[in-house]
Chains A and B, each alone.
Chain A
Amino acid sequence: MRTLPDDYREDKPYQEIHWSRHLSHHEILTIAETLGDFSPVIVSVFREVLRSVLPFLTRKEFDQWVLLGKTVYNGTPAGVELCTNYLQSSPKLISTGSFYHLKGWVEQGLELAKRSSLTALLYFQITPTFLERGEIFHLRPWGDTALQILSMGDKKGEAAVSFLKGSADLLQFVPFRQLKDWIAAGIDMVKQSPGLASLYFALKPKGLDLLYATEILRIFQLCFLISKTHPEKALELYENSPQTILDLSPTVRGMAMDAAKKISSDKPEGMVRTLEGIAANLALLTYPDQESVLENEIPIGEISIKASKAYLNHVGILFETIPETFLPHWVDKGLSILKRDEQRGINYFSLNSKTCRKELSQLKEAILLEDHQHLLTLYAHALSGEELRLKSTKELDPDESSPLRDYPSCDGHTIFLPPFAAGEEEREENFRNYKIAVAHQAGCVEFGSFESGFPIILSILHSFPIRALAKDIFFILEDGRIDRKLTQEYRGLKQEMDLVLSRAMKRRPPLCELPIQEALVEVLLRFTLDCLDEGEVPPDITEHLFFIKENLKGFYEEARGIWDCYNKTLILYDYLSRLPTSSSYLPSIPLYYRGRLDPELFPDPGPWQCPPDEILGDRHKEGQAVSISMEDLERILDRLKDSKDLEFIQGEELSSQGLSITDTEGVTTKSSEDDRCEYEQRNQTFFLPATHGKTGQEGPFYYDEWDYRTRTYRRKWCCLRERVIEPLESGLVDEIYKDHMDLIQKVKRQFQRIRPEVLEIVRSVEWGDEIDFPAMIRSVVEKKAGSIPSEKVFTRREKKTRRISTLFLMDMSASTDELIPNEQGKKGKDKKVIDIEIESLVVMMEALEALADEYAIFGFSGYGREHVDFYRIKDFSDNYSESLKRRISNIRPKQGTRMGPVIRHAIEKLRSMESDQRLLLLLSDGFPQDHGYGEDRRSNEYALHDTMMALLEAKKEGIQPFCITMDQGGHDYLRKMCDPRSYLVIQDIYSLPEKLPNIVESLMSW
C-alpha cells in the first residue's frame, strides 16, 4: 500500500467542506488512499474536485462516483489520463444534470475508449464545454456520433476527435440539434475520406462568428447537399461561404444561398463558384438594391433556372445602366418574354437581346416621379389654383403588377402619377408626358370634373348593363371637354399636347381589328381628339360614324360641365349598346396622360350612416371631445374600411355635422394599413371632435431623410404634422413655479443681466442725429488754429444688442415615461424623465421671459415615417399665458423618436426668424429610434446618420444646434452625431432645471 504524502493527511482542506451526513473525514482519507494506489495524480485531482462534487451527492452516489472512477481507471490502458479527465469533468456533469447521467456518460466514454483512447480522453475532457453550451440531453447523441464515426472503420479516430472539438465549438453559434446537416455532411466525408472529414470537422471558417444562426444553418444545408458527391467542394463551401456572404445585407444572405442552390441544382459542384459569383455581383450594390435584385429573381427562377442565372450574372452591369427603381419593370418585361420563349427570355436577362437593349435605352432615359414631384406639384398647384397633392400610384395599389400603377389618376385632391415615366427615347419627352398628365388632371380640377355630382354620375354609370361601355363614353367625352378647355386657356400647352397625342395615336389599336362597339368607342375617342382619319374607318361602321359626328356637332362649344357630358353619354350609349356584337365589351385602353380613374377613390354615395349612438350619445355636446374605447374605435375603423362611409371624414357636404377621428389620417392609404393599425393601437386615447376638420393640426409637411448607405436623401420621405397639445387644467406649472421659486428668481436675475436692447451712442461720426459738442469744439479750435478740422462732429445712436431666437425641442418619446430614482438626495419623490424636462422648460421660460427674447418650445414624437408628430407647446408668436401653462400641463410621453424630420421642421421655424443668433436646443433621453428608422432594427446607424445630417443642415442655415441628453450612454452616439462642443450629457438628471439656463446662457454668449 502506497503511503499518502503528508499534506494529504492534513485535516485542514476538508474541515471547511460541508460534509454529507453519511461521510466522515476518515472515510474520505481512506478513499484517497485507495486511489493513491492507482496514481498520485489521480489523488491530487480527486482532492481538487472533491469540494465541488460533495454538495451534490448523497453517500451512496458518492460511492458510485468513486467506483465509476475506478472502473474508468481499470477499463482502459490509458487509465490514469482517463480517470483524471473523468474526475475533472464529472463535477460539471453532476452539477448540470443529475447523477443519473453520470453512469451513461462513463459507459459511453469507455465504449469510445475501446476504439480510441484519444477520442475517449477528449470526450471526457470536452464534456464540460459541451455542457456549458449545449443541453445535457444531447450528450448521448454527441457521444453516439463520435462512436458512429469510429465504427466506420480504421483510422477514423482523428475524425472523431475533430468532431468532438468542432461540434463543441459550434455550439456557441447554433444548438446541437441543429447541427444535423453539419454532422451528416461530415459523416458523408468520413465515408469517402477520413482526412477530409477531420479537416471539415476541425474547420473554424472565418466569418462564421459574424453570421446569424439561420445563415449558418443554411450553409450546413448546402454542404450536406454536395458532401455525398463532392466532399472536397463541400469542404470548400464550408470554408469560404461565410466570408462570401458577409458582404451581403443580412436580409438577403439566405436568399442568395437559395438562389445559388437553385442555379446549381443541375451541377452541384459548381455551387461554390455560383455563390461567389452571386455575392460578388450583389456586393457592388447597396443593401436595398441587393434585396430588390433577389426578390425579383424569385419569379424568374420559378420559370427558368438558366434565365435566373443569366439575370444574377448580369444584374451588376444592369445597375450601371438603369436606376434600381426600374428593375421590377425591366424584370416584368423579361418575364413576359420568358413565359413565351425560354431562350429569348434568357437572352433578355443576359442583356443580349434587341428587346432588352431597347428597353434599357428607354429606361435609361426614364425619369423618376420623386425627382420631379416638387416641380410637378407646384405646376399642378399653379394651374389649378388648388393645393393638389402629388403622389405615386404605388400608394393606390401596393401590388406592383396592378394596372392602376401604370396610369395617372386623380380624386380631386390628389393627383396620382406612375412612379416613373419611361417609354420615350428622351428624358424631355418622358417629362413632357408627366407634365401633360399633370396639366390634364389639374385641368379636371380646374374645369369642374370633380364637382359635387361626379360620384352620382359614376354611380349611375355603374348601374348600366354594359357599365364599361358607359364609363368609356363618359370619360372620353369629359376628357375631351377638359382637353379643349386646357388648350383654350393654355395656348402654350397645345403644341406639347399635340406632340404627346401624335405619339400616343401611333400606339392605338387599328380600328379594323376591333369589334364593332370597341371600334366605335375608339372612333369616338379619335374624333374628340380631332385625330380621326376617316380613311381608316372600316366601311361597316361608317354609318355609325355619321351618328357620332351628328351628335357631337357643336357639343364642346356648348358643353359647360360634367352633366352635359353625362347627357350626351346617355344618347351615345343608347345607340352603341344596341349594336349587335358577338363578344362582351372590352374597355378601351386609356390615353396615358388622361389616365385611368380608380373607382375606389370615389365611393358609392350611399345614404350616410351615423356613427353608433352609443359612441356619440346625447350627453356630448357639439365641439366637445369624446374619448372612446379601443373596441369602439376598431369598430368604426372597420366600418370605414368596409362601407362607403369614408365620406363622413372627407365629404364637404357634411362639414357642418361631420365627424372626424383625430389620428386616423391615412385611413384611405392602403399601403400604410398595417403601420396605421399599429400606430393607432399605440394611441391610448382618441377624440371625436364633432366639428369637421383636423382641428389643432397643421401640415402635413414632407421632409427628406438621409440614407447613409446610399449617401442620398430619400425625397419627401417623412410626413410631419404639427399638432397643438390640448390644454389641461392641472396647475402643474404653478406647482413647478412654487417648487423652484428660488431657482427661478436666480435664473431671472442671471438672464436680466444679459439683456437689454439699448441704443448705444456712437460719437464723432461724419453723420448722425445730433451734434457731438466736444468734437465740434475740437473742430472749431482746429479750424481757428489753421489746421484742417475734422468733419466727424455728430453722434449717432446704434443698436448694439443681438437678437436671439431660441427653439427648444423636447423629446416626448415613450422612453421619457421612465422613472428616475432620486438618489442624489434631492427633495421629493422619484420623477419621470418627462417631468424633469417640463420642470426645466418652465424654469427656462421664466428666464427667457425676463430677457424678452423670442423663444419657442416644441415637443416631438411619432410612429414611423408617416406619423411624425410635432407638438406645439409655444410658438415664437405665442405669449406666455394661462393657456400655455395648461398646454404644458398636458405634455405626455408618446411614441418614437425620429429626430431628423423634427430638426428639419425646427430649421424651417427658425429660418423665418430675423435674429442675429438662432439656437436650436434638443432635449432628449436617448438616441434617435423609431419604427422603420433604418432597415436594421438592431442598429441605430441609420437614425444617427440622419440626425447628424439634419444637425449639419441646421448649421448650414446659420442655426446653432445643441443636444442635451439625459442618457448616460449618450457620449457613444452623440460623439458621432455632433462635435463635442455641441452636446452635453447630463449626469444627474435631477439637476437639469439648474443646468439648462446655464447652458442657454453660455450659448447666447458665444
Chain B
Amino acid sequence: MSVPDEQQDSRSVHSEAKKIKSAMKSRELKVEEYHITEEPFYLPLKDEVDLFQAAFRSKIPVLLKGPTGTGKTRFVEYMTYIMSREMGLSDKEEGKSLPLITVACHEDLTSTDLVGKFLLKGDETVWVDGPLTKAVKAGAICYLDEIVEARKDTTVIIHPLTDHRRILPIDKTGNIVEAHENFLLVISYNPGYQSTMKDLKQSTRQRFVAIDFQYPSRQQETQIIQHESSVGEEIAYELSKVGEKVRNLKGHTLTEGASTRLLIYAGRLIKEGIPARRACEIAISASLSDESEVQRAISEVIYAIFP
C-alpha cells in the first residue's frame, strides 16, 4: 500500500520530532556515575596534557589557574577522558571508566557539603556521603571549581587528601576513608578578579602542582572557535582578533578580558544568522561591562574588525 507523500512527510516529521524530544530529555545520574564517554574537544595550548598525565600517574593534586573561559573545566573533562582511555577503561563499560565529580564552590559551601552529613530518614539518622567522599571512594577525579570562593575552614579538609596520606577523615562518623587509587583532586581558581582576602592559603596552595591557563594564541583560538561554534575560519579568525584586542583593556577598564567562551557564543549567534556586529555586541560588549562608555569602546573595536 502506497502511502501518500503528504502522509509520508507527516510521519517523517513526527519521527523527527520524537528524536528531538528524546534528545531533549534530561538524564539524572548519581555524581559518582558521571563519566565522560565521548572525547571532548580540547586543543592543547602548551604541554598541559603531558603535565596532567604525569601528575595523575604520580598522584599529585593539580591546581588550574587562569582567567575565566580559558578552558579549565573543559581541560579537566578532556583529561578525565584521556586518563580513562589510558588506563584501558573502556568508556562503554559503565561503571569502570573514570568518574568526574565537579563541585562549584561558593562562599556558603561548608565542609559538610563536601564530606557528608547525617540526614533523618524515617525514625533514624542516615549518613550521606558528600561529593568529595564519593569521589574518594569511587576513585574519581574530583574537581573543585573556584576553590577560593569556599570558606577557609572548608578548604582545610582537603589537606590530608592532598599529601602522601591520601585519606579523608570523617569526624562525624569516626571513619577514615583511604582514597581509591584513581582518585585525583583538581582545583581551579582565577587569580585575576579575586580580592586579596580571597587568596588561597599557602598551606593549601603548596599541596598542588599549578598549571597556568592563559588565553590561546590567535591561531589556536581561531581553531577552537571554529570547532565549537561551527563558523567559517574567516569569522573565527576575526572573532579571535576581537578577543585579542579587547583583552588589551584588561587590568585597566576590564577586570577580565573577553573569554574564548564568549567568542564561541558570538560565533554561535553568527552561525544562527545574527549579524556579526550585533552578535559580538551582545556576547562581548554587553557581557564584559556595564559602563556605557566601555561598552561603546569595545563595540567600536568590534566595528573596526567586522565590516
List residues of chain A with CB under 8 Å of any chain B CB. Answer: 374-376, 378-379, 381-385, 387, 435, 439, 489-496, 759, 768-771, 776, 779-780, 783, 793, 797, 799, 803, 854, 876-877, 912-914
Nearest CB in chain B to that of A799: its residue = B151
Q: Shortest distance in angstroms between B295's beta carbon and chain A's nearest beta carbon? A: 10
* Residue B204 interfacial (CB < 8 Å): no
B246-296 interface (Cβ within 8 A of A):
246, 248-249, 252-253, 277, 293-294, 296
Question: CB < 8 Å: which of A379, A495, A759 contacts B301?
Answer: A379
Inter-chain contact B197/A914, CB cutoff 8 Å? yes
Inter-chain contact B195/A494, CB cutoff 8 Å? no
- Return chain B residues, CB-CB under 8 Å to A376: 297
Q: In the assembly, what is the distance between CA of A780 and CA of B304, in Å?
A: 70
Q: Shortest distance in angstroms between B119's beta carbon and chain A's nearest beta carbon? A: 8
Q: In the assembly, what is the distance between CA of A374 and CA of B249, in Å?
A: 12
- Return chain B residues, CB-CB under 8 Å to A913: 195
The interface bits of chain B over 161-198 (1 if a CB of A lies within 8 angstroms of the residue's CB, else 0) are 00000000000100000000000000000000001111
Nearest CB in chain A to that of B303: its residue = A492
B227-263 interface (Cβ within 8 A of A):
238, 241, 245-246, 248-249, 252-253
Q: In the assembly, what is the distance between CA of A85 and CA of B245, in Å?
A: 91
Contact A382:B245 (CB < 8 A) given known A375-B293, A435-B300, A770-B117: yes
Inter-chain contact A491/B307, CB cutoff 8 Å? yes
- Return chain A residues, CB-CB under 8 Å to B117: 769-770
Inter-chain contact B120/A793, CB cutoff 8 Å? yes
* Residue B118 interfacial (CB < 8 Å): yes
Inter-chain contact B249/A381, CB cutoff 8 Å? yes
Nearest CB in chain A to that of B276: its residue = A492
Question: CB < 8 Å: which of A379, A489, A768, A780 contacts B123?
Answer: A780
Nearest CB in chain B to that of A776: its residue = B120
Q: In the assembly, what is the distance between CA of A913 and CA of B112, in Å?
A: 29
Inter-chain contact B249/A439, CB cutoff 8 Å? no
- Return chain A residues, CB-CB under 8 Å to B22: none
A-B contact pairs, 26 of them (CB 8 A): A375-B293, A375-B297, A376-B297, A378-B249, A378-B293, A378-B297, A382-B248, A382-B249, A382-B301, A383-B301, A383-B304, A384-B248, A435-B300, A490-B304, A492-B277, A492-B302, A492-B305, A759-B153, A769-B111, A769-B112, A783-B123, A877-B196, A913-B195, A914-B195, A914-B197, A914-B198
Q: In the assembly, what is the distance between CA of A439 and CA of B248, in Å?
A: 15
10 residue pairs, one from A and one from B, having the closest CB atoms: A378-B297, A769-B112, A490-B304, A385-B248, A492-B304, A493-B304, A382-B245, A382-B301, A492-B307, A382-B248
* Residue B41 interfacial (CB < 8 Å): no
Q: In the assembly, what is the distance between CA of A491 and CA of B237, in Å?
A: 12
Interface centre among B117, B241, B246 (most CB of A within 10 A): B117
Q: Shortest distance in angstroms between A73's beta carbon and chain B's nearest beta carbon? A: 87
Contact A375:B300 (CB < 8 A) given known A387-B252, A769-B110, A770-B112: yes
Nearest CB in chain A to that of B302: its residue = A492
Extra contacts besides A378-B253, A381-B249, A490-B305 (20): CB < 8 Å:
A376-B297, A378-B297, A378-B298, A379-B300, A379-B301, A382-B298, A382-B301, A385-B248, A489-B241, A490-B304, A491-B305, A492-B304, A493-B304, A769-B110, A770-B112, A770-B172, A779-B120, A780-B123, A799-B151, A913-B195
Interface centre among A381, A435, A492, A803 (most CB of B within 10 A): A492
Nearest CB in chain A to that of B249: its residue = A382
Q: Shortest distance in angstroms between A384's beta carbon and chain B's nearest beta carbon? A: 8
Q: In the assembly, what is the distance between CA of A799 and CA of B118, in Å?
A: 22
- Return chain B residues, CB-CB under 8 Å to A912: 195
Inter-chain contact A494/B307, CB cutoff 8 Å? yes
- Return chain A residues, CB-CB under 8 Å to B151: 799
- Return chain A residues, CB-CB under 8 Å to B125: 771
The interface bits of chain B over 185-227 (1 if a CB of A lies within 8 angstroms of the residue's CB, else 0) are 0000000000111100000000000000000000000000000
Q: In the assembly, what is the distance between CA of A876 and CA of B249, in Å?
A: 25
- By DSSP majority rule, is chain A's interface helix, strand, loop, or mixed? helix
The interface bits of chain B over 100-132 (1 if a CB of A lies within 8 angstroms of the residue's CB, else 0) are 000000000011100001101001010000000
Q: Shortest distance in angstroms between A852's beta carbon and chain B's nearest beta carbon? A: 12
Q: In the assembly, what is the distance between CA of A194 and CA of B246, in Å?
A: 82
Nearest CB in chain A to that of B300: its residue = A379
- Return chain B residues, CB-CB under 8 Å to A914: 195, 197-198
Q: In the assembly, what is the distance between CA of A876 and CA of B300, in Å?
A: 36
Nearest CB in chain B to that of A387: its residue = B252
Interface centre among A384, A494, A769, A913 (most CB of B within 10 A): A769
Q: Shortest distance in angstroms between B154's beta carbon and chain A's nearest beta carbon? A: 11
- Return chain B residues, CB-CB under 8 Å to A385: 245, 248
Interface centre among A375, A435, A489, A914 (most CB of B within 10 A): A375
Inter-chain contact B294/A378, CB cutoff 8 Å? yes
Q: In the assembly, what is the distance between CA of A658 and CA of B238, in Å?
A: 41
Inter-chain contact B296/A439, CB cutoff 8 Å? no
Inter-chain contact B303/A771, CB cutoff 8 Å? no
Q: In the assembly, what is the distance between CA of A912 and CA of B197, in Å?
A: 11
Q: In the assembly, what is the distance between CA of A439 and CA of B245, in Å?
A: 13
Q: Shortest distance in angstroms between B110's beta carbon and chain A's nearest beta carbon? A: 5
Inter-chain contact B303/A379, CB cutoff 8 Å? no
Q: In the assembly, what is the distance between CA of A494 and CA of B303, in Å?
A: 10
Inter-chain contact B306/A492, CB cutoff 8 Å? yes
- Return chain B residues, CB-CB under 8 Å to A768: 112
Question: CB < 8 Å: which of B110, B120, B302 contacts A771?
Answer: B120
- Return chain B residues, CB-CB under 8 Å to A491: 238, 305-307
- Return chain A residues, CB-CB under 8 Å to B196: 876-877
- Return chain B residues, CB-CB under 8 Å to A489: 241
Nearest CB in chain A to that of B112: its residue = A769
Q: Shortest distance in angstroms between B151's beta carbon and chain A's nearest beta carbon? A: 8
Q: Shortest distance in angstroms between B307's beta carbon and chain A's nearest beta carbon? A: 5
- Return chain A residues, CB-CB under 8 Å to B303: 492, 496
Q: In the assembly, what is the distance between CA of A776 and CA of B195, in Å?
A: 40
Q: In the assembly, what is the distance between CA of A811 and CA of B104, in Å?
A: 46
Q: In the assembly, what is the distance between CA of A490 and CA of B153, in Å?
A: 51
Inter-chain contact B245/A383, CB cutoff 8 Å? yes
Q: In the assembly, what is the distance between CA of A913 and CA of B305, in Å?
A: 37
Nearest CB in chain A to that of B110: its residue = A769
Interface centre among A378, A385, A496, A803 (most CB of B within 10 A): A378
Question: CB < 8 Å: which of A495, A783, A797, A854 contacts B110?
Answer: A797
- Return chain A residues, CB-CB under 8 Å to B253: 378
Q: In the assembly, what is the distance between CA of A374 and CA of B252, in Å?
A: 12
Q: Shortest distance in angstroms between A234's beta carbon and chain B's nearest beta carbon? A: 57
Inter-chain contact B252/A382, CB cutoff 8 Å? no
Q: Shortest distance in angstroms between A38's beta carbon and chain B's nearest beta carbon? A: 90
Q: In the assembly, what is the distance between CA of A381 and CA of B246, in Å?
A: 9
- Return chain B residues, CB-CB under 8 Å to A876: 196
Inter-chain contact B304/A771, CB cutoff 8 Å? no
Q: Shortest distance in angstroms between B200's beta carbon and chain A's nearest beta carbon? A: 15
Q: Shortest distance in angstroms between A921's beta carbon and chain B's nearest beta carbon? A: 21
- Return chain A residues, CB-CB under 8 Å to B300: 375, 379, 435
Q: Shortest distance in angstroms between A84's beta carbon and chain B's nearest beta carbon? A: 80
- Return chain A residues, CB-CB under 8 Å to B302: 492
Q: Shortest distance in angstroms between B158's beta carbon and chain A's nearest beta carbon? A: 17
Contact A374:B301 (CB < 8 A) given known A382-B248, A495-B307: no
Q: Shortest distance in angstroms between B278's beta carbon and chain A's nearest beta carbon? A: 13
Contact A381:B195 (CB < 8 A) given known A490-B304, A769-B117: no
Q: Shortest distance in angstroms between A737's beta carbon and chain B's nearest beta carbon? A: 27
Q: In the assembly, what is the distance between CA of A851 and CA of B178, in Å?
A: 40
Q: In the assembly, what is the distance between CA of A564 and CA of B117, in Å?
A: 73
Q: In the assembly, what is the distance between CA of A193 and CA of B97, in Å?
A: 119
Q: In the assembly, what is the distance between CA of A385 and CA of B248, in Å?
A: 5
Q: In the assembly, what is the distance between CA of A556 and CA of B241, in Å?
A: 23
Q: Shortest distance in angstroms between A438's beta carbon and chain B's nearest beta carbon? A: 9
- Return chain B residues, CB-CB under 8 Å to A783: 123
Q: Shortest distance in angstroms between A730's beta carbon and chain B's nearest beta carbon? A: 30
Q: Shortest distance in angstroms between B52's beta carbon and chain A's nearest beta carbon? A: 31
- Return chain B residues, CB-CB under 8 Å to A771: 118, 120, 125
- Return chain B residues, CB-CB under 8 Å to A435: 300
- Return chain A residues, CB-CB under 8 Å to B120: 771, 776, 779, 793
